[in-house]
Amino acid sequence: MGKIYTNQSRLKIYISTGSNLIEASSVYINGTEPDGSAISPQLTTTIEDADTGLVSFELGTYYLAPSFTFTAAGTWILWVEVAYIGGKIAYGEPFHLNVYAPGT
């Protein structure tokens, strides 16, 4: 499946941060919906490979808040926020994710 559709669940998204996450205490996804409103709450990722900076997020299975799916078709702007041990925070480059209505 090459596209992400609205309200799709049980889909795992992988993001390469491009930096070592050995000292990261948590990694989040922040972003805006196609209408410009902020994603709320920020999405907690799983660190898949700390050395290479690979993280993942599984749609529809967000355990710390109501499950998350992309509810609107259009271009979402997302970025990663890394919180490090000791309180420092780093933000990744924003990237665009196109989400489609089913059947398109």
Tens digit of each residue's pLDDT, the chain (104 residues): 578 899 887 788 999 999 999 999 999 999 999 999 999 888 889 999 999 999 999 887 655 455 788 889 999 999 999 999 999 999 999 999 999 999 88
Check residue 3 and report its DSSP letter. -
Phi (first) and psi of residue 9, to 5 degrees? -130, 170
Other CB atoms within 10 A of residue 73 CB:
16
**Cα–Cα distance for residue pair 100/4, rounded to 1 Å:** 6
Do residues 78 and 29 touch, judged by C-beta distance below 8 A? yes
pLDDT on residue 104: 86
Per-residue tokens: 80: 């990663």
Give the residue among 60, 61, 56, 55 at the shortest CA–CA distance from 71: 60
Structural domain containing residue 54: 4-100
Task: Give the pLDDT of residue 41.
Answer: 81
Domain count within the chain = 1
Domain CATH code at residue 42: 2.60.40.1220
